[in-house]
Amino acid sequence: MAAYSLSAPAVCGKVEALSEALAAVVGSKKDDRGEKAQALADVVKAYGGSGIAAFASSTKLMEGMMTVLEGSDKKKSSEREGVVAAVSAILKTCGAPVEPFLVKFMPALLVLLADKSGKALQTAAEEALTALVGELSSQAKKMYALPACVDKLGSDQKFQTQAGALALLLKIANEAPEEIGSCMPELVPAVSALLCDAKAVVAENAQKAIEAACASIDNTDIQPLVPSLISALKNPTEVEDCIFKLAATTFVQEIEANALAITVPLLKRGFQTRKTPVVRMCARIIENMAKLVERPRDVKPFMPTLMPALERATEEVSDPEARTVCGKAVDQLNRANDGIGMAPEPPVAELETTLKAYATVATAAEDDVVATIVEFVGKQGMALIDARASEQTEWNSIVVPYYKVLVDAATAEAIAKGYLEKCSKMMVAEEEEEEDTDAEQLCDCKFSLAYGSKVLLNNTRLSLKRGFRYGLVGPNECGKTTLMRAIANGQVDGFPPADELRTVFVEADILGELSHLSVVDYIFADERIRNCAVPREDIEKTLASVGFTDIMLKGSVSHLSGGWRMKLALGRAMLQRADILLLDEPTNHLDVVNVQWVENYLNGLANVTSIIVSHDKGLLERVCTHIIQIDSLKLKTYKGNLSEFVKREPKAKSYFELKSTALEFKFPQPGNLEGITSKGKPIMKMDGVEFTYPGVHRPQVRNVTIRVCLSSRVACIGPNGAGKSTIIKLLTGEIEPQVGGVWKHPNCRVAYVAQHAFHHIENHLEKTPNQYIQWRYEHGDDKEALVKDTMIATEEELKVMKKPFEYRWKSEDGLKEYKEKVVIRSLTGHRRVQRGTKADYEYEVKFENKPGTFTVWLPLDKLDGMGWGKELKKVDEKVASRSAAFQTPLTSSNVEKHLENIGLDKEYGTHCRIGQLSGGQKVKVVLAAAMWNHPHIVILDEPTNYLDRESLGALAKAIEGFDGGVVLISHNSEFTSAVCPETWVMTPATDTEPGKLDCKGDAEWMKEAMKEKVEIKKIEEVVDAFGNTVKVKEAKKKALSRAEKKKLERKRAAQKKNGEYVPGMNGSDDEDF
């Protein structure tokens, strides 16, 4: 039951007095019109609430005044002036209580601005309107004045009415900017249509009105573009340029209806151009802006305009890529319209619902006066509800001035308080209840986050409590690592600063300038450790607690394996006494034992909060107390571990499944290898290899013998520090063995991705991935492959290489023989001469102090014996790389396509710098760069680090379809068992014994693989540097003429006499031809 009641005061005898006073005003002359109008107003005021009730309740008075105002007879213009004067006087004298009734005259007064009777009536109407709009509250301006003005902007209205309405809109925009901002969807189309009006006063007022309305846009991304947007609406020739300006904008802030209102008319015109680049750009803008919409109500008004244009473009645009962009925009716009991924929001306020809430506070009598006042207050209440206004003073301002006619002031204030209490429930949406816990709140902030030109998080909330362990999950490239780095770097708005909350980002990094230091000295030199004033003794004690021995503490930090580097990073974090640990893939490089150690360590941190990014579902299952999901640019926190989270969000299971859905990797297939007809024939091998790291008293590995062929699918497994990466480095030539031999087929190309993959790109962070690959292969060689220890000669080796030797040769006619002490200057190429012998290859040699045209061919064994072994390998590497270069020319478009084949979108591959990429994206860059030259063997050291499950599934599928050999190191048994039937098991070294290697595998599979023949594929087409596809035609053999045959016979005879004839090489018809 309502506590209050509203009823109109008695009006007995007052209506007649008011009627007489009004009649006097209507029939008055110009000289005494003002006096009689004021007399009417005084009568209304003198009667108080009864006078206002009498004035409002009298059909004769209200309808009579409306009838006069709506008349158009020039002879009765004085009557209209009298009513206008009466309206102005009553408003001025009685104030707010009469506003609910006088606003009904606004449409008629706007029409009078164009009355033909003369300037006097137009001026009087303008003054009355200005006064009325000025007296209205901001909420009444929105609910009554603004719709009345917009309604009079149509083409059916006279220009004076349009100009006057625009002037009033300008006044409203200046006096009630927040309210006009929410009305922009209705306002902008009506006003923009008049920007080019033939009447200068209309166009000028429209310009001022739209500029004032756009001042309500608080989106800093849109604000700088507002002048250009308005100018483009006024000048159609500027539409395309403005669209491209808009497309170049990085949108980060929330997009609201007012920002959309000024951009949608421009986008509509862009779609109407029917130009594919413009239409595509419009679709991209819509997609980007729709991602930042927080409330469906902001986008709903524009759906009838945007959706048909987008759907038509999706079907009609000729460019397939542009159609795809349009399709994505359609999907994103539908998501925004449906509120997918958005926080719940309260429904838009409706008059009926609002009046029902009012009725529970105060019962309104069935009376036209009461109904009009309550409806007037109700519509203003709707504006406050939609604006989430919860201040009592705001509600008092829309209730008390009007209810004074019905109740006393104290009661009116009490009713206003009740209205706020009831309506406040309509301002909030039902949200998930906060977790009831006594844990200390570490942070509770709302922020947005962008990555390059891509928005990752928009106006989202992050809440962290002490002692909880949060797993951060989300789809590929959603911004997990970027968020962690932003927190660590203090780039998240509202996150407590470092002097209040100590946050440590744990990453297994070894700084190059400190890599020569011992483990203890490396930690002691860390600036973060120095800032914490940690003594050396504590460093040694902490590192010992995580498993470092005395020998390891004194050893070089650069010799640590990936697993020990991660433990070193965790030890460093422990020393900083963090409040929050940010861990990005903490189990990377770790074996089962060390993964268990990490889990126990994290679970034992009672007062430290952890945020963990990991693709190890076991870790998230056993460690996490909460899961934070990134979805639709929002963070959403779920209580429980991974399995509890997946129960509530089943689609998230795809984050951790080893399978590829939409993502697909395509490895370039290797070319043919000369002399290799069977996939089981070794093309890389090591025999009896032994290697000892400098400063270590025993070998790391000893007596290692392995073979790699085109059919190899090998997983090298073993605990941390066993020497897995060491034998891979020996095999690839990164380091040289002290004992034993390593051999690789001279034309074999090898793609090697090291354990610490980022070292490949750490000096190129300012390049884009596309630029990096072009730099790496710009001369046809792989620059990374030419800087290995096995290809860089030492000072001693250079001295041996420069020793003179005696070389004999004959003149061209074979009659004279020469000999001379010569010094080799360089090797330029190689050729195969005798199949099936150790001297398979000869190398072209240039001598010092001889012309460049003087070159000779020397056998491999002779050059190797003269100390040129490393240069021989370098020549082999160059020749092998260049033989693949013509298959795919090194153009920007080809590299872009290649990066997409390895899972890196062109947005990141061509337009983002490497330094801006996430860990997973950087791994894809390194992998793509290594695969560019069509390798025969792919060697991956810990490829599963930083790659999500979808990427791992794509990688496994690409390996399955690859025609070359694959060797990989990984602690991910699920991945290795899926792709590798053969294993190399490393036994770790002890203090006295080196590590040992045991080769195992599926005998039946290996037997079949050894038998598989190499399918020699002829290249039928290539793509040139201009992007043209060129068909490769097989050369036709030309029959020799008699003269040519005799000439060839004489040449061969001379070659045989000089001992230069080699069957199958320089004696073939093909070569001579």
CB 57 within 8 A of CB 68: no
DSSP E strand boundaries for 718-782: 739-744, 750-753
Mean pLDDT across 1047-1057: 76
- Helix (H) / strand (E) element for 856: namely strand 855-859
Q: What average pLDDT does this structure show over 206-222?
A: 90
Residue 371 CA to residue 373 CA, distance in Å, equals 6
841: pLDDT strictly greater than 90: no
Higher per-residue pLDDT: 221 or 303:
303
Q: What is the pLDDT of residues 739-750, one digit of tens each?
A: 888 888 888 888
Of 16, 19, 62, the closest CA to residue 369 belongs to 62
Query: Nearest 5°: phi and psi at 225?
Result: -95, -10
Task: Return the higher-pLDDT residue of 259 and 861.
Answer: 259
112: tokens are 């009078």
Centroid of chain to Cα 513: 32
Name the 3-class secondary structure at 38. helix
Query: Where would I find the H helices in 27-158?
Result: 30-46, 49-57, 59-70, 77-94, 99-102, 106-112, 119-135, 138-140, 146-151
- Band of residue 171 on the pLDDT scale cut at 50, 70, 90: very high
Query: Does residue 675 have a pLDDT over 80?
Result: no
- DSSP bridge partners of 718: none
Does residue 265 contact residue 246 with C-beta atoms inside 8 Å? no
Confidence of residue 596 (pLDDT cuts 50, 70, 90): confident
Which of these, 299, 628, 651, lies nearest to 460 by C-alpha position? 628
Among the ranges given (253-262, 306-315, 754-763, 899-908), the one the predictor scored with the smallest mean pLDDT: 754-763
Give mean pLDDT, residues 723-737: 85
Residue 428 amino acid letter: V
Instruction: Give the per-residue pLDDT at 918.
Output: 76
Compare 192 and 780 and report the one with higher pLDDT: 192
Q: SS in 3 state form for 204-243?
A: HHHHHHHHHHHCCCCCCCCHHHHHHHHHHHHCHHHHHHHH
Assign 701 to helix, strand or coil: strand
Structure tokens at 351: 């008059």
Token digits of residue 102: 């006088």
Q: How confident is the model at residue 1065 (pLDDT cuts 50, 70, 90)?
A: very low
Q: What is the mean pLDDT of residues 843-848?
A: 87
CB atoms within 10 A of CB 648: 13
CA dist 29 and 24 (Å) reads 10
Q: What's the DSSP call for residue 144?
A: I
pLDDT value at residue 209: 93
Closest CA to 771 of 885, 890, 615: 890
200-214 vs 226-234: helix axis angle to the nearest 10?
150
Q: State the pLDDT confidence band at 1030, using cuts at 50, 70 and 90.
A: low
Q: What is the pLDDT of residues 361-417, one digit of tens each?
A: 888 888 888 888 999 999 999 999 988 888 999 999 999 998 888 888 899 999 999
Are the CB atoms for 786 and 779 separated by under 8 Å?
no
Which of 67, 57, 69, 54 is CA-nearest to residue 21? 54
State the pLDDT confidence band at 1016, using cuts at 50, 70 and 90.
Answer: low
Distances 646 to 461, 473, 478, 587, 628 between C-alpha atoms, Å: 21, 11, 18, 21, 12
Evaluate whether 655 touches 474 at the Cβ level (below 8 Å): yes
Lowest mean per-residue pLDDT among 404-418, 434-448, 855-869: 434-448
Among residues 775, 697, 789, 690, the alpha carbon closest in space to that of 734 is found at 789
Task: Give me the residue label for tokens 């090298």.
Answer: 716
Region 412-435 average pLDDT:
78
pLDDT for the residue 818? 80
Residue 327 sits at φ, ψ, to 5 deg, of -65, -40
pLDDT for the residue 836? 47
Question: Would the pLDDT of 835 be above 60?
Answer: no
Q: Percent of the chain, pLDDT > 70?
A: 87
Query: Under the phi-then-psi rule, with left for phi > 0, alpha for psi from -120 to 50, and beta for the rest, what region is 399?
Result: alpha
Kindly tell me if the per-residue pLDDT of 300 is higher than 50: yes
pLDDT at 1014 (0 to 100): 64
Distance CA 564, CA 577 (A): 20
Grade residue 160 by pLDDT with cuts at 50, 70 and 90. very high
Q: Is the pLDDT of residue 80 over 70?
A: yes
Residue 16's SS3 state is helix
Whether residue 838 has pLDDT greater than 50: no
- Confidence label for 660 from pLDDT (cuts 50, 70 and 90): very low
| Distance, CA of 1069 to CA of 1073 (rounded, Å) | 6
pLDDT of 1063 > 60? The answer is no
What is the pLDDT, as a whole number, of residue 433? 44
Token digits of residue 117? 């009777």
DSSP string, 565-579: HHHHHHHHHHHTT-S
Q: With CA atoms as reference, report the closest residue to 898 among 940, 943, 931, 864.
A: 931
CA 68 to CA 88: how far, in whole Å? Answer: 15
C-alpha–C-alpha distance, residues 943 and 976, integer Å: 10
- CB atoms near residue 250 (< 10 Å): 11
Over residues 159-172, mean pLDDT: 93
Q: What pLDDT, on a 0 to 100 scale, did the predictor assign at position 1069?
A: 41
Q: Coil, helix or strand for 826?
A: strand
Cβ atoms of 755 and 561 within 8 Å: the answer is yes
What tens digit of pLDDT does each residue of 813-834 get? 667 788 888 888 888 887 776 5
Range in 54-63, 689-698, 949-958 with the lowest mean pLDDT? 54-63
Which residues are registered as beta bridge partners of 941?
Answer: 969
Kindly state the average pLDDT of the residues 639-658: 79
> Confidence band (pLDDT; 50, 70, 90) for 837?
very low
Residues counted in the chain: 1073
**Counting beta carbons within 10 angstroms of the beta carbon of residue 373, is it exposed (0 to 12), middle (13 to 18) or buried (19 or more)?**
buried
Is the distance from CB of 99 to CB of 90 less than 8 angstroms?
Answer: no
Q: Has residue 231 got a pLDDT over 80?
A: yes
**CA–CA separation, 711 and 890 (whole Å):** 28
15-47 confidence digits (pLDDT tens): 788 888 888 888 888 888 888 888 888 888 887
565: alpha, beta or left? (left if phi > 0; alpha if psi -120 to 50): alpha
Q: How far apart are CA 117 and CA 107, in angstroms?
A: 18
Instruction: Tell me how far apart the alpha carbons of residues 244 and 225 are, in angstroms, rounded to a whole number.
Output: 11
Neighbours of 285 (CB within 10 A): 21
For residue 845, pLDDT over 90 is answered with no
CA 1023, 1027, 1031 angle in degrees (round to 5)?
35
Mean per-residue pLDDT over the chain, rounded: 82
Q: Amino acid identity of 950?
A: E
DSSP SS3 for 595: helix
Helices 226-234/239-247 angle, 10° precision: 160
Q: How far is CA 602 from the centre of its chain?
A: 30
243, 267 contact by CB (below 8 A): yes
Check: CB of residue 548 under 8 Å from CB of residue 519.
yes
Residue 898 pLDDT > 80 = yes
Fill in the amino acid letter for 1035. A
